[in-house]
Structure 1
Amino acid sequence: MTSTKQLNKITLKGSAAIVSEFFFYGINNILYQRGVYPPEMFKQEKKYGLTILVTTDEGLLTYLKDNILPQLTAIVCNLTEWLEKGAVRRLVVVIRESETNETLERWQFEIQSDEEQKNSNNPPKPKDVNTINSEIRAVIRQITATVTFLPLLETPCSFDLLFYTDKNLEAPSQWEDSSACLITNSEEVKLRSFSTSVHRVDGAVSYKFSM
């Protein structure tokens, strides 16, 4: 019994891979559900016990897999040390109106290390992969359900990814400084959270409210 528990224990490296993979599928789901790219640019994949739409556009896939995910994996792998220094805390998906560059939606995901969780009201508990996948499945389902209340995006849109990092962090050369892309007088909805017992991810979406 003891050896089984050891085999199921989530390591820092394993947690980084889980969080990184969630962001890949989560970002794809947001882009599909919000119509940032046309539906024909996505294909169905089975993940977390769900059918998730993943882009088939080579340019977007290259951007996510070659530029974003390796950077994200590096961030999460070093998260414990960097969080102690306040170096990185969140990832934000910003959806803008293409013509005006106005921010219409802001999907924010806070990342906590196990040390931060121990000092909060939600101390981490050991989890197996099935439990983690169940929590991630609930988050993905909630992202899918947001189409029932988020305003329809009626104009062509683009997206940006923001990483909140310490100014002294040596960032990749292709990164650029950005504003927070906040939305004035926005509405906000909290998303479900998931945790690997090494990292915890809390999400929320804020959006421009139109009367």
Structure 2
Amino acid sequence: MASRTVTKDLITLKGSAAIVGEFFGYATNSILYNRGIYPEESFTKVKKYGLPMLLIQEGGVKSYLSALTAQISEWLEKGSLQRIVLVIMSKATSEVLERWNFSVETDGEVVETGASREKSDKEIMREIQVIMRQIASCVTYLPCLDEPCVFDVLVYTDKDMAVPLTWMESDAKLIHNPQMVKLHSFDTKIHKVNTLVSFKNDDWDEK
């Protein structure tokens, strides 16, 4: 009689933290590319999530994002990360033009007990694919950034969490009366990431 082997796709806390940290790294690169924060020639094309993705090669930014995603993964493993916000500002005036908000919901039971959850890698990848496609098409719904811009990353953690010395306290860098677009979310069954972009809309200011 024929037999078959069946396996379950189990996600651990460490594995989930790595998935979310990596996602944020690729999402940030995609936003920086699609919003024209750095010139096109600063990026190299790779394949990830079944899609062509772009990664910045500018040394300082590349090492900054690498250290950032490693720290994010560490906080995710401890269940202490609440939200990550990528802020795009005018280089000349520091006015905040866009806020890409990635809020994180964590399964507290997994953090406490070390239990694993069941979800296939393919399903997670499909959910991430949708978000990456939405980021890539952001030029269709976001105002044109017609001036040189810079970016910053704000990370919201539990208050009792130790913060590296190289990090600084910051204000929330909010936008007055922003417009908002909610993107899709993805869920590893341990961490759920909800994505929202808010942006300055000059049309509203004129009313």
Same fold (TM over 0.5): yes
Q: Does 1:139 align with 2:131?
A: yes
Q: Does 1:99 align with 2:92?
A: yes
What is aligned with 1:75?
A: 75
Q: Kindly state the Cα deviation for residue 167 of structure 1 after the two structures are TM-superposed.
A: 3.2
What is aligned with 1:151?
A: 143
Q: Kindly state the Cα deviation for residue 194 of structure 1 after the two structures are TM-superposed.
A: 0.2
What CA distance in whole angstroms lies between the structure 2 residues aligned with 1:103 and 1:155?
A: 12
Query: 1:149 is matched by which residue type in structure 2?
Result: Y
Q: Does 1:169 align with 2:161?
A: yes
The count of residues paired between Structure 1 and Structure 2 equals 194
Q: Kindly state the Cα deviation for residue 168 of structure 1 after the two structures are TM-superposed.
A: 2.8
Q: Which structure shows the bigger proportion of residues in helix conformation?
A: 1
Q: Does 1:207 align with 2:180?
A: no
Q: Residue 105 of structure 2 is aligned with which of 100, 103, 112?
A: 112
What is aligned with 2:64?
A: 63
What CA distance in whole angstroms lies between the structure 2 residues aligned with 1:32 and 1:54?
A: 8
What is aligned with 1:28?
A: 29
Q: Kindly state the Cα deviation for residue 69 of structure 1 after the two structures are TM-superposed.
A: 1.4
Q: Does 1:46 align with 2:47?
A: yes
What CA distance in whole angstroms lies between the structure 2 residues aligned with 1:58 and 1:108?
A: 25
CA contact (8 A) 2:86 2:153 kept: yes
Superposed CA RMSD: 1.7
Q: What percent identity do the matched residue pairs reach?
A: 46
* Gap runs ≥5 in structure 2: 110-116
Query: 2:163 is matched by which residue type in structure 1?
Result: A
CA contact (8 A) 2:83 2:156 kept: yes
Query: 1:105 is matched by which residue type in structure 2?
Result: E
Deviations, residues 140-191 of structure 1 (Å, cap 9, x unaligned):
0011111101000011100000001233321000110011111001000001
**Segment drifting more, 183-192 vs 125-134:** 125-134
How does the TM-score come out when normalised to structure 1?
0.88
How does the TM-score come out when normalised to structure 2?
0.90
Q: Kindly state the Cα deviation for residue 135 of structure 1 after the two structures are TM-superposed.
A: 0.3
3-state DSSP of counterpart to 2:202: coil
Q: Kindly state the Cα deviation for residue 115 of structure 1 after the two structures are TM-superposed.
A: 3.8
